[in-house]
């Protein structure tokens, strides 16, 4: 079997990049899948192994620890992804996992180590599996059981208490749903729902009227996606555009816009209005333009490479009717979809992120007209980047007041902000606050 058509070998190469070189899992996996000639079924298996192994990394290391001393990084990664299959993938027989691991060790060019891999895995299978209850310290136990660094367990517990923390951790263990948004400019919601319903198992969202949900299905390759009738957007983030109170002639600034998921949603509300979408990088602006083109909304959107914390210097004061600051954040609400986030050191400087978020809000705020609306959103569920930002922004900017957000689902509203934790509706974790310029 050649390298390019072995799903486990591909998974190992991606995991090596993520664990050894801090690559982003989604990018490394997409690149590897594109270059491979795997069947759709094998692609899905490789994807499952990559995300499963990353998601359960700390648990798998704990399982593996009694069986090895020191070994090469790729060998350890191969053992981790094999133990993932043994423990979590019921349909794959243990013997097949071992045989495949041995084959991959040989493929990686090391016959001697293939014997070692064989021995460790056979030993692991023979030995009774360790039980989490033997870890006496509760924080450590939760950390190993849910593969979450202890400082995050502590942060969750401090903010949400034990019971809700457990519910959040449990909910992060179950897979994300596919969440689609219907482009109601091009097609009626109900007819698109019926059409998708005839081909996939789909359902409606409990929180976003534009969302269609599905457990499985690769919607990015469908004609309806390519033709812009549907797009892929989490239910929680579909709540942002409706919160903006958009009028069809509004001039809107989307300050942190790429890849443009919310830009295109807001643009659907416009007739003669226009959105200026900013980001820091050309390749990211291209993603916004691609999205706008696919959804047939290019005439309503222009992109500019401008630092949002210097928007006022670039555009001047009182120019826009509305602004969205969908700020750079730790992304801790996306752990279910992007499990590598929980191990990344650069996303844990919550105070540093808060400073950036406040400086963007303050500067963008100056570009809004009197009575203009500014919405602040993040995909994180920690207070430093959410309620503390709202509080400090209002303290430091007396020309703004908070508009209290309401929703018929009271459990997603807290202190006038929308606050979705991942266990409530099995969405991404998400936060929305709303301000008006006096």
Ligand X SMILES: C[S@@+](CC[C@H](N)C(=O)[O-])C[C@H]1O[C@@H](n2cnc3c(N)ncnc32)[C@H](O)[C@@H]1O
Check whether 9 is labelled as a binding-site residue.
no
290 is in an annotated binding site: no
The reply to whether 326 sits in an annotated binding site is: yes
- Closer Cβ to ligand X, 45 or 308, answer by number: 308
Q: Does 326 bind ligand X (CB under 6 A)?
A: yes
The C-alpha R_g of the chain, in whole angstroms, comes to: 24
| Strand 274-279 relative to strand 301-305, pairing | parallel
Instruction: Report the largest interatomic distance among the alpha carbons of the chain, rounded to a whole angstrom.
Output: 72
Please report where in the chains the tokens 């950036």 appear, as a residue: 356
Closest CA to 232 of 259, 267, 257: 259
φ and ψ of 408, to 5 deg: -65, -25
C-alpha distances in Å from residue 238, one per residue of 211, 230, 248, 302: 8, 13, 18, 21
Measure the CA–CA gap between 144 and 105, rounded to whole angstroms: 27
Exposed e or buried b per residue across 4-28, where buried means at least 16 C-beta atoms within 10 angstroms of its C-beta:
eebbbbbbbbbbbbbbeeebebeeb
State the binding string over 221-240 for ligand X (x if CB under 6 A, else -): ----------------x---
Residue 309 binds ligand X (CB under 6 A): yes
Q: How far apart are CA 6 and CA 104, in angstroms?
A: 9
Q: Which residues pair with 183 in a beta bridge?
A: none
Q: How far is the CB of 169 from ligand X (least distance, A)?
A: 24
Contact stretch for ligand X (CB under 6 A) within 94-102, 150-158, 217-225, 278-286: 278-286
Asked whether position 333 contacts ligand X by CB under 6 A, the answer is: no
Touching ligand X, residues 248-277 (CB under 6 A) = 256-262
Phi, psi of 228 (to 5 degrees): 80, 15
Note whether 278 binds ligand X by CB under 6 A: yes
379 tagged catalytic: yes
Give the nearer residue to ligand X in terms of CB position, either 7 or 333. Answer: 333
Whether the upstream peptide bond of residue 259 has omega within 30° of 0, thus cis, is yes
Please count the other Cβ atoms lying within 10 Å of the Cβ belonging to residue 118. Answer: 15
* Token pair in block for residue 201: 């198992």
| Residue 307 lies near ligand X (rule: CB under 6 A) | yes
Q: Which is nearer to ligand X, 103 or 286 (CB)?
A: 286
By CB under 6 A, residue 429 contacts ligand X: no
- Contact between 242 and ligand X (CB under 6 A)? no
Residue 280 binds ligand X, judged by CB under 6 A: yes
262 labelled ligand-binding: yes
Which of the residues 379, 412, 419, 432 is marked catalytic? 379
What are φ and ψ of residue 181, in 5° steps? -125, 135
Which of 92, 328, 347, 436: binder of ligand X (CB under 6 A)? 328
Phi and psi angles of residue 398, each rounded to the nearest 5 degrees, phi first: -70, -15
Using the minimum distance from each CB to ligand X, give the nearer residue, 82 or 363: 363
Size of the site for ligand X (CB under 6 A): 18
Give the 3-state secondary structure of residue 202. strand
Q: How far is the CB of 105 from ligand X (least distance, A)?
A: 39
Q: Is residue 284 involved in binding ligand X (CB under 6 A)?
A: yes
Nearer to ligand X, 82 or 303 (CB): 303
258 or 335: CB nearest ligand X: 258
Does 308 engage in binding with ligand X (CB under 6 A)?
A: yes
**Residue 317 known to bind ligand:** no
Burial category of 49 from C-beta neighbours within 10 Å (exposed 0-12, middle 13-18, buried 19 and up) = buried
Instruction: Give least dist CB 413 to ligand X, A.
Output: 21
Q: Mark the binding-site residues, compressed into ranges.
A: 256-262, 279, 307, 326
Q: Which residues are at the interface with ligand X (CB under 6 A)? A: 237, 256-262, 278-280, 284, 307-309, 326, 328, 360
Q: Annotated active-site positions, please?
A: 379
Q: Mark the binding-site residues for S-adenosyl-L-methionine, compressed into ranges.
A: 256-262, 279, 307, 326
């Amino acid at each position: 079997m050649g390298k390019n058509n072995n799903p486990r070998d591909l998974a190992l190469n991606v995991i090596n990049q993520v664990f050894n070189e801090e690559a982003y899992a989604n990018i490394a996996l997409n690149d590897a899948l594109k270059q491979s000639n795997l069947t759709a079924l094998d692609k899905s298996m490789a994807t499952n192994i990559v995300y499963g192994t990353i998601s359960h990394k700390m648990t798998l290391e704990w399982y593996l620890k009694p069986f090895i001393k020191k070994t090469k990084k790729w060998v350890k990664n191969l053992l981790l992804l094999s133990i993932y299959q043994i423990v979590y993938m019921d349909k794959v027989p243990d013997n097949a996992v071992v045989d495949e691991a041995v084959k991959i060790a040989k493929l990686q060019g090391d016959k001697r180590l293939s014997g070692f891999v064989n021995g460790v895995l056979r030993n692991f299978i023979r030995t009774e599996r360790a039980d989490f209850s033997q870890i006496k310290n509760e924080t450590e136990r939760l950390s190993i059981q849910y593969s979450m660094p202890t400082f995050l367990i502590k942060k969750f517990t401090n903010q949400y208490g034990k019971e809700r923390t457990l519910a959040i951790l449990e909910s992060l263990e179950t897979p994300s749903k596919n969440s689609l948004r219907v482009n109601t400019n091009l097609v009626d919601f109900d007819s698109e729902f019926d059409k998708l319903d005839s081909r996939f198992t789909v359902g409606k969202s409990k929180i976003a009227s534009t969302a269609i949900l599905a457990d499985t299905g690769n919607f990015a390759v469908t004609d309806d996606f390519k033709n812009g009738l549907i797009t892929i957007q989490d239910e929680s983030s579909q709540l942002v555009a409706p919160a903006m109170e958009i009028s069809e002639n509004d001039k809107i600034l989307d300050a942190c816009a790429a890849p443009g998921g919310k830009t295109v949603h807001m643009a659907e509300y416009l007739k003669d209005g226009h959105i200026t979408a900013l980001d820091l990088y050309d390749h990211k602006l291209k993603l916004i333009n691609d999205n706008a083109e696919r959804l047939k909304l290019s005439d309503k959107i222009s992109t500019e490479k401008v630092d949002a914390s210097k928007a006022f210097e670039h555009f001047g004061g009182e120019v826009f009717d509305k602004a969205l600051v969908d700020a750079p954040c730790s992304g801790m609400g996306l752990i279910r979809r992007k499990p590598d986030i929980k191990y990344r050191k650069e996303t844990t400087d919550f105070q540093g992120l808060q400073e950036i978020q406040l400086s963007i809000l303050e500067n963008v705020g100056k570009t809004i007209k009197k009575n203009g609306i500014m919405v602040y959103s993040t995909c994180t569920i920690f207070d430093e980047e959410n309620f503390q930002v709202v509080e400090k922004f209002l303290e430091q900017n007396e020309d703004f007041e908070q508009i209290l957000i309401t929703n018929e689902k009271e459990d997603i509203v807290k202190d006038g902000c929308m606050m979705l934790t991942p266990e409530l509706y099995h969405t991404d974790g998400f936060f929305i606050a709303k301000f008006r310029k006096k």
